Structure 1
């Protein structure tokens, strides 16, 4: 697998391929955002400092009968322009949005 397959097969333009793992009948593609694409999620500045990572799993389309998961390294960033410290914005995943039902749980 290559970064080209991420782009052409899954539509991931900002990510780079790290490795493939096969576990329990599931295919895991390990990915991360290219360093030159990291930017502040608030002001969109590229003037950021990396502050660690977390791992997130994303279910994607299967390959044949095998389920496929993207195992993404999500970068925590500090913006030197606006001062915000936050995880990078993941373009291929929607952000969780509050619903009217969420406010009833408070």
Structure 2
């Protein structure tokens, strides 16, 4: 279900390249997930019931796991702030275009 919504990653990459404000993007992602059933009803006319485990699995893979990994990275580099700021963050900021 999450894959039929517009890709927030692209918004994030291009907004970052343009030096724009990316703080609105989490709100955009939440709205996409919340409004997805409305879009399905509007465009398809009906909504089939899905397994709740499938929805939970999708949310875990797309939202929760990356969130936890990001906080774990910040925690591991808390004493090496210069390495995090000067090496890790710039690498992943540029590498996200390729991934």
TM interval, short-chain normalised: under 0.3
TM-score normalised by L of structure 2: 0.20
Please identify the structure whose Cα radius of gyration is greater: 2
Greater per-residue strand proportion = 1
Higher-RCO chain (CA-CA 8 Å, sequence separation at least 6):
2
Greater per-residue helix proportion = 2
TM-score normalised by L of structure 1: 0.19
